[in-house]
Amino acid sequence: FSQALAIRSYTKFVMGIAVSMLTYPFLLVGDLMAVNNCGLQAGLPPYSPVFKSWIHCWKYLSVQGQLFRGSSLLFRRVSSGSCFALE
């Protein structure tokens, strides 16, 4: 009986990580759309393009290789074509 509880807790932990990995792009797109063209400097060009819809945002991030940016706890992914303005 104790083994079933241990397996259940490990399964719950692993499934939680898997679900968060699958839903991360939706969270990222939602966050970007929240600041999109709202007047904040981070949501305006040259820092971020103005998106027409969340689908446009998703496609843009996918083409740029940025759909999973910031999703890893252990390391950071940086696509070779990324360019960020620094002041």
Q: What is the domain extent for residue 43?
A: 1-64
Model pLDDT for residues 37-73, shown as the tens digit of each residue? 998 898 899 888 999 999 999 999 999 988 888 777 6
Dihedral pair phi/psi, residue 49, rounded to 5°: -70, 160
Q: Per the domain annotation, does 85 fall within a domain?
A: no
- Does a structural domain hold residue 22? yes
pLDDT at residue 83 greater than cutoff 90:
no
**70's torsion region: left (phi>0), alpha (psi -120 to 50) or beta?**
left
Residue 80 is assigned to a structural domain of this protein: no
Count of structural domains, the chain = 1
